[in-house]
Amino acid sequence: MPSYLGAIGTANPVHRIAQPQIAEFMAQALAFGDNDARKLRALYRVTGIEHRYSVLPDYGRPNGEYTFFPNTPTLEPFPSVGQRMAVYRREALPLATEAVRDCLRQVPSVAMASITHVVTVSCTGMYAPGLDIELVQALGLRHDVRRTCVNFMGCYAAVNAVKLADAFCLADANARVLIVSVELCTLHFQKSPEEDHLISNALFGDGAAACLVQAKPLPDGAPSLALQAFHCGLEPDGHDDMAWHINDFGFEMTLSSYVPKLIQRGIRNLTDGLLQSLPVELADVRHFAIHPGGRKILETIETELGLSRDDNRHAYRVLRDYGNMSSATVLFVLRDVLAHSTPAEHGAPVLSFAFGPGLTMEAMLLEVVHEAAGAAVSSKAKESAEVV
């Protein structure tokens, strides 16, 4: 029997900043001349991103009005890891709590006391006692709730959290797992003209997502996604093309322009590996929930798997409105899939991908579940059997 994922809640900081504003901040911070600034603005235009969210208001303000970065022409002294982690510790819990409350509003009958496991996910900040313990206290969860932290795995980490939740539910039919992903990527702006940093600065935003996983469909008529299968792929040649390191002035993301080519090389094998033992073919898939690591990544997957832009509409919508929020992003995409599903699509397959350091490629096959529609189908089948 499958486990079920649903009631996906999301939250973003209050500062919603237009992509052109962020480009101007970056051009000024990097002291770019007219030619380099023009190229930077072009890079930001082709990302497919219109707005991103940040816990820092500075990206939408002129120098002289910053609250985190120094109000100096060169932003010196540049904020240290300690200063960035202080902001993470202050901002992560409220954002995570908001996402959880948004999740549980969708299933009013689920009480906090019924949560048996909490899995927290983040690669943009760590401390101890950590977010997991703070969530127990802030939400009034049971003190004996089982806590697991998935840290520093990058954009694919939410898939590993879902795998953990699925294992918990398969081991215990009464398990009810709360997954909470919170990423404050914009804390880690790097003042560097290197291509990797320019690309990272152009893509990442802040956000949180929370969802429930349990051994049966969610209550209160909430639609959910049955977890059918998982598959992991690794492209070791991409070891240096997507990476995440802690340095003196924040966490440094390596995200080279070669990443789409690595995904192009491995995405078909990843898909075949996922589906090879299942009664589902790629042509049967009705919905796609692909982590929008960047516009080029989405376009590459479309080309390799024969998808249309419309097939990828959920990913493009999230990319446009939020940017890449690391591990939380694929949960935003899955929420969009659920929100636009209908009872008529009960049983429809959903194919999901996420990517991260390594280069790691994760795949999930899920299935849309609308309990009312499923009950109606079962009732009709029973009536037909009785007639026969």
Same domain, 203 and 326: no
Query: What pLDDT was estimated at residue 35?
Result: 97
Last residue of a domain, one of 168, 185, 214: 214
- Residue 115 and residue 147 in one domain: yes
207 and 351 both lie in a single domain: no
In a domain, 200, yes or no: yes
Whether residue 203 is found in the same domain as residue 57 = yes
100 and 135 Cβ atoms separated by less than 8 Å: yes
Q: Which of 182, 214, 246 is the last residue of a domain?
A: 214
State whether 46 and 137 are in the same domain.
yes
Instruction: Report whether 187 contacts 87 (CB < 8 A).
Output: yes
- pLDDT of 387: 41
Q: How far is residue 184's CA from residue 188's CA, in Å, rounded to a whole number?
A: 8
- Verify that 205 and 344 share a domain, yes or no: no
What per-residue confidence (pLDDT) applies to 373? 64
Distances 70 to 24, 73, 87, 122 between C-alpha atoms, Å: 17, 9, 15, 27
Question: Considering the domain boundaries, does residue 11 fall inside one?
Answer: yes
Would you call 155 a catalytic residue per the annotation?
yes
Q: Measured over all CA atoms, what is the biggest interatomic distance in the chain, rounded to whole angstroms?
A: 82
- The full length of the chain comes to 388
In a domain, 149, yes or no: yes
Positions in the chain short of pLDDT 70: 241, 243, 254-256, 258, 372-388
- Give domain status of residue 288, yes or no: yes
Query: What pLDDT, on the 0 to 100 scale, is given for residue 247?
Result: 83
pLDDT number for residue 250: 83
86 token code pair? 């202080």
Domain around 24: 3-214
In terms of phi and psi (left: phi > 0; alpha: psi -120 to 50; beta: otherwise), the region of 380 is: alpha
Q: Tell me whether residue 299 is in a domain.
A: yes
Q: What is the pLDDT of residue 248?
A: 82
My answer on whether 271 and 357 are in the same domain is: yes
DSSP characters over 197-217:
HHHHHHHB-EEEEEEEEESS-
- 100 and 211 in contact (C-beta within 8 Å)? no
State how many domains the chain has: 2
Give the pLDDT confidence of 33-46 residue by residue, as tens digits: 999 999 999 999 99
- The reply to whether 383 falls in a domain is no
156 and 206 housed in the same domain:
yes
Task: Read off φ and ψ for residue 373, nearest 5 degrees.
Answer: -65, -40
Residue 163 shares a structural domain with residue 38 = yes
First vs last C-alpha separation in the chain = 29
pLDDT at 377: 40
* Contact between residue 230 and residue 270 where contact means Cβ atoms under 8 Å apart: no
In a domain, 388, yes or no: no
174/300 same-domain check: no
pLDDT (tens digit, 9 = 90+) per residue, 298-321? 999 999 999 999 999 999 999 999
Q: Which residue in the list 123, 155, 169, 185 is annotated as catalytic?
A: 155
Residue 256 lies in a domain: yes
pLDDT at 384: 40
Helix, strand, coil percent values for the chain (each to nearest 5):
45, 25, 30
Domain of 271, CATH number, reads 3.40.47.10
Nearest-angstrom CA–CA distance, 307 and 311: 6
DSSP annotation string for 114-181: G--EEEEEESS---SS-HHHHHHHHHT--TT-EEEEEES-GGGHHHHHHHHHHHHHHH-TT-EEEEEE
- Collapse the DSSP code of 54 into the 3-class scheme (helix H, G, I; strand E, B; otherwise coil) and give the result: strand
Q: Do 207 and 228 have their domain in common? A: no
Looking at 189, 214, 239, the residue that finishes a domain is 214
Distance CA 89, CA 103 (A): 22
Q: Does residue 246 sit in the same domain as residue 109?
A: no
